[in-house]
Structures are given as C-alpha cells and as structure tokens.
Amino acid sequence: MNNRNAGSVISRSINLLFGDENIARWETVKKIIRNPNSRIGLIMIGILTLVGIFAPFIAPYDPYQQVLTESLEPPGLSHLFGTDLYGRDVMSRVIHGAWIAVKICVIGVGIAFIVGNLAGALSGYYEGWIDTIIMRIVDSIMAFPFLVLVIAIMAIFGPGLKNLYFAIAIVSWCQYARIVRSRYLSEKEEDYVRAAEAVGFSDKRIIFGHLMPNSIAPTIVYASLDCALVILVAASLSFVGVGAQPPIPEWGAQIAEGRQLLQVGWWIATFPALGIMYTVIGFSLIGDGLRDMLEK
Amino acid sequence: MDVDIVSDHKNKMKEISRNETVIEIGHLKKYYVLRKGFIDKILVREQKYVKAVDDISLDIRRGETFGLVGESGCGKSTLGRCVLRLESITAGNIRVFGQNIRSLADRQLKKLRKEVQVVFQNPYSTLPPHKIIGNMLKEVINHHEIVKRDMIKEYCLDLLGQVGLSEVFYTKKPKALSGGQRQRAAIARALATEPKFIVLDEPVTALDTSIQAQILNLLMELQNKRDLTYLFIAHDLSVIRHVSDTVGVMYLGKLVELAPTKELFQKCLHPYTKSLASSSPLLSEVYRIDRIELTGEVPSPIDPPAGCRFHTRCPFSFSRCSKEEPKLIGPDKGHLVSCFLYS
C-alpha cells in the first residue's frame, strides 16, 4: 500500500481509531469532498447552517425590534442592509431567516426522506398487497400539483411554521418512496441478496443492512435537490400568506412585506431573495456533486 | 509401501462414509404459477404453470460431488434453490441430513442455513457491494455464532487464507477484486458457517479458463480437507467430468440420465447426453462420441411435449416416444436412463 498523500495518512489514523470498517466509509466522504461542485455546495450550506445556529450572536439588532424613527433607511453603515417600514434591521431579519430555512430543510425533507425510504423499502421488498396500498397512496398524492396540495393542507391545518414542515413532508415523501421502490425491485434479485437469504439473515437485516446501503444513494441526491425546492415552496407559501406569519422573519414573508415597497425601498425584498438564491444554489451544487459521485 | 497402506485405509474409510446418504430428493416438483391475464380471466382459461422441476428423485452421498448438468432453463438452478430452501416446494420431499426441509421450525431452519451453503454463478453480483470483505464475513459468523467475538478477526483471516486470498483483501470492497478473487471471497463466505453441504450453482461459468481451473482445484481441495458434500450445477460437461463423482443430466425439468461419472462418459446412453457430450470438442475426441446435432429450440416448460420430453428434438425418436413417458430405469446397476431405446 502506498501511503504518500495526506488522505491516506488520515484514513490510516481513522483505521487506528475506529477499526478497518470505517476506511471504506471515509473513502466515500473523501470522494465527495474532492468533487468541486459538492465541496462548494457543502461550504455554502455549512456557512448557512452556522449563521442560522449563531443568528442571535451574529445579528447586530433584534429582528423584532421596531424603531419607527428609523423607518425605511437605505443600506448604510449603521444598517448594512437598511431597515424596513417599521424600522427593523433587514440584515438581522435575513440572518434569523437562515435558521428558519435550515429548519425547513432538516425537518421537512428529513421526515419525507425517512418515511419515503421506509415505505419504498417495504413496498419494493415485499411487493403484493403492501406494495399496492403504498403505491396507490403515492399515486393519489402525486395526482395533485405539488404547490396546490401543500396550500390545501395548510388551509386545513391553519397557517404557521410547524404545519408548514409537515405539509411539505406529507407531500414530498412520495418521490422518495418511488425511487426507493424501483431500486429495491431490481436490487433484490441480485445474487448477494440470495446469498444473504441462504445465510439465514432476517428480513429486517436484509432490508436495512444489505439493500438499503445500496439503494439509498439516489435518494440522498434527490434530498439535496429537494431541499432547494422545499426552500422555494416554503418561501412561496409564506409569500401568499399561508406559511410563516408576520412578524416571523421568514424569507418568503419578508419578500411579501417588501413587495409593495419595492419602489421606495428595494432592499427590503432584495436581501431575503438573495438569501433564498444562495441556499438554493448551495443545495443544488451539493446535489450535482453527489450525483456525480454516487450514481454511476 | 507404508504410504500405500495409509492411503488405502483412507480410501476405505471414505468408501464407508460414502454410503451414507445425506441429501435425499424424492419426487420433487417445483411449479411456478403463471399469472392470468385479463382475457384469461374472462374466458376462464385453466391455470398454467411453468414446470421448472418435474418429479425428480436423486440421492447425494456424503463426501461426493453430485454434478447436475443441462441446458439453460432446464431447471437445474431451481433444483439447487429448492435444496437451499430459497424456493418453496410444490410437491415431493427433500431430506437434508435426515431432516425434511419442507416443514421446519425457525430453529431447525437456522441450523439448515448453517449446514447448507451456496456459491453463485455471477461473481459481480454475489458480494454485497457496499461491504468490505471482512465485514461481510464477520456478519455471517456473528449471525451463526461460530466463534467468540474476540477471535473473529483471526478466524476471518484464516478463512481468507484457506481460499487463497491474502490479508490485504480483508479491508477491500468487492469492486477492488477481480472475478476470480470475488469468487474466492464468495467461497469464503460459504465456508464461514462451517457447512457440510454446499450448492455450487455454476461457480466457474463466468470465469476465464485459467481461473476456472484454479477455482475448481480450490473447491476439490476444500472438499477433501473439510469433508464437504457438493451439488455442482453446470452446463459444461468437461467441468462436470473433472469434479464430480456422480452425474445427473437434466432436460426440461426431468432427469434423463443418472450415472457415476466414469460410467457416464464411457458409454452415455441417452441421446440428449450424447448430444451434450459430442458438442464438446474435448470430450468427443477422448470418448469417440459421434456428433449428434440437435435442431430446434428447447420446448417451453409451460407446455412440455407429451410423452418423452426430448422426442421433439431426438434423432432416434419413434412412435412410442410421443405417447408414453419413459421411466428412469437402469439397464446396468447404478446407471439409470429414461429412454425407450434401452427398455
């Protein structure tokens, strides 16, 4: 074995720390980091997450604090991104909005990812009536346009951030289920699954230990692209008024507030929009990079 | 002299143990139900089956290699999968070490899984692609609790050594291995549970010739060392001749000829066996078998021909062949054939 570059030194020390198993895992991580797309994307989203977590310490002002005497100040030294109609600091509001964006991705896409993977695994592995039930549910959800269905669910549960997460999850798990199911259908015919059956492993072990690691890659790619989509959907919903309610500093809601004031204060809507753009580009880059790496 | 006596003794011991039957297959049938289409349902057509294995009986004795040969689609792999209990059995019985495997409690099934293992044909799909070889072995060993946990790595490395892989491969993923190395790793996995019986489902078909010989020699060496019994499935008669003690020839779900290897190749009786043997340049040369060319396709196992299943392609068929079904009977002791030419 040639241990010339820094990467293999690190992989050797990981080997010493955690045992041989983790070398293979580390190789994958290394490959993802080496890809320029996913590296830039990961850095962008990493910054976003850090900004979101430490928002209360980074933001120069309280995002809810109204100072009516400083209403509609253009970007300047005291307020870098200017102030809105009520004199709230736009920069602080955009920074706090980052945390909400991260939460939407983690909770909304996270639930959809887990539920979709489980449902797809069950329906792909067992087929039969389980498959029929799950796939008919998926079909009926996907019969509606994405945004319309989310708006309908929000109308039932009422507006608010919490309901927004779940509405997004309810609608978007279907794609994951379909992707995973099709992977399982082809993957379970492979000889290594036959061999696992011959060794006598339980269904649970074959599904989670053997099939899932080999069919999860496309859903990870899809999830990172889905994050971008979900950010946009959440912003659109807040924009039309069924998502986050004012005064919550959600980016879509901020754009909606700034919309009428575009001619007198362009900065109110522009900076949250840039935030959305940044996030969407970041997730798309990760998705592209992962696709290059994980899918052959 | 001494050496001869010792080896004589060994052979005698082998002969004694060989009479013990470990696998008994009795009138095994495996039918796959064909799904009825919409129009079939309306017209109330009768249910159709794919008769993959149709009434096969054979015994495998301890320590022997039973070669099962036939064209693709004749049901030989299905038979192997039935013995492994990866497929349900439509009718008949399979006894593995005296245990009827049609009805097994969970604990007995786990014991069967430990005692009966398999090596598959395609080296490129037989190993879980995300696992390093060491972890794959460990998982199997832990599942059957073969050795204590602190001994497990040594045991794995020992296994790899036995199949001719160096320790380097312990941390390698399957994609870093060549076809032959993968097949060795698959053999290591099969050996990990310390089985007594291994189904080899065309283990060398996908490998190139030089590697084939290595793998076959490895398998034979392991058989001697570990007192293993093999069911060797292949479509290549010359491979079968090299490894097996007894040969069964299958055609369209039926056993058409069953004989000790030497016997079979010196005078093969069934026209189908003759055609198989004569299609191999090496064998037809050695045993001076006249070339029999088969015409036409293998009939569909959904609607197999009436009478002898081979009569549609048999150059010697006569009127009786399409009316009656020949039985598997022996003109000689131990050499069974199902053909009217010999009854």
Write the pLDDT tens digit of every residue in A236-266. Answer: 988 888 888 888 899 998 998 888 888 988 9
B189 located within any domain:
yes
Q: Report DSSP state, residue A83.
A: B
| The two structure tokens encoding residue A99 | 């945390």
The pLDDT of residue B69 is 93
Residue in chain A nearest B117 by alpha carbon: A198
d(CA B303, CA B310): 13
Which class for A218: exposed (0-12), middle (13-18), buried (19 or more C-beta within 10 A)?
middle
At residue A236's C-alpha, the angle toward residues A66 and A177, to 5°, is 130
In a domain, B195, yes or no: yes
Q: What is the pLDDT of residue A93?
A: 93
CA distance B81 to A56: 63
Phi, psi of B331 (to 5 degrees): -70, -40
- Inside any domain, residue B156: no
* Residues of chain B contacting A21 with CB distance shorter than 8 Å: 132, 134-135
Are A89 and A72 contacting, i.e. CB atoms less than 8 angstroms apart? no
Q: Do B128 and A197 touch (CB under 8 A)?
A: no
Find the mean pLDDT for residues B185-199: 94
CB of A24 less than 8 A from some CB of B = yes
All residues at 6 or more sequence positions from B126 whose CB lies less than 8 Å from its CB, including other chains? A191, A192, A195, B119, B120, B182, B183, B186
Domain match, A43 and A25 both: no
10 Å Cβ neighbour count for B39? Answer: 8
Cα–Cα dist A74/A68, whole Å: 14
Q: Secondary structure of A181-224 in the HEC alphabet?
A: HHHHHHHCCCHHHHHHHHHCCCHHHHHHHHHHHHHCHHHHHHHH
Kindly list the distances between the CA atom of residue A230 and the CA atoms of A104, A223, A286, in Å, as whole numbers in the listed order: 8, 10, 15
The total domain count for chain A is 2
Q: Quick check: A214 and B109 CB within 8 A? A: no
Contact check, Cβ <8 Å, B143/A199: yes
Closest-CA distance of chain A to residue B296, Å:
30
Beta-carbon pairs below 8 A across chains A and B: 67
Work out the minimum CA distance from A141 to partner chain B, whole angstroms.
27
Q: Does A17 touch chain B (CB under 8 A)?
A: no
Query: Which residues of A fall within a CB distance of 8 Å from B134?
Result: 20-21
- Tell me the chain B residues in contact with residue A23 when contact means C-beta distances shorter than 8 Å: 132, 171
Regarding whether A111 and A30 lie in a shared domain, the answer is no
The span from the CA of A104 to the CA of A252, in Å, is 12
Give burial (CB, 10 Å; 0-12/13-18/19+) of B78.
Answer: buried
CATH number, domain containing residue A141: 1.10.3720.10
Rounded CA-CA distance B310/B307 in Å is: 9
A174 against B43, higher pLDDT: A174
- The verdict on whether omega for the bond into residue A247 sits within 30 degrees of 0, i.e. cis, is yes
* Cross-strand bridge partners of residue B251: B254
Nearest residue, CB atoms, B143 vs list A190, A197, A201: A201
Q: Indicate yes or no: CB of A214 within 8 angstroms of CB of B129.
A: yes
In terms of domains, do A20 and A160 share one? no
> Measured between alpha carbons, how far is A200 from B238 in angstroms, rounded to an integer?
33
Mean pLDDT of all residues belonging to chain B? 87
Tell me: do A17 and A101 sit in the same domain.
Answer: no
- A28 and A136 inside one domain: no
B26 forms beta bridges with B93
Residue B170 included in any domain: no
Q: Which domain covers residue B16, as residue numbers?
A: 2-127+177-342
Residue B289 amino acid letter: I
Q: What is the pLDDT of residue A295?
A: 66
Q: Is B78 helix (H, G, I), strand (E, B) or coil?
A: helix
Rounded CA separation A156/A167 (Å)? 10
Using alpha carbons, select from A123, A228, A196 the residue that is nearest to residue B144.
A196
Task: Kindly state whether residues A28 and A86 are assigned to the same domain.
Answer: no
pLDDT of amino acid B321: 87
Sheet with B197-201: list strands edge to edge.
B116-119, B197-201, B229-234, B65-69, B246-251, B254-260, B335-337, B329-332
Mean pLDDT of A208-229: 90
State how far the Cα of B230 lies from the Cα of A249, in Å rounded to an integer.
71
- Pick the more confident residue, A5 or A244: A244
In percent, the amount of chain A with pLDDT more than 90 equals 52
- Whether pTM > 0.80 for this model: the answer is yes
Could you give the number of structural domains in chain B? Answer: 1
Residues of A in contact with B143 (CB under 8 A): 199-201
Domain hosting residue A278, numbered range: 37-294
Pair (A26, A47) in one structural domain = no
Whether B128 sits inside 8 A of A24 (CB atoms) is no
Indicate which of B125, B133, B182 best probes the interface with A, i.e. most A CBs within 10 Å of its own CB.
B125
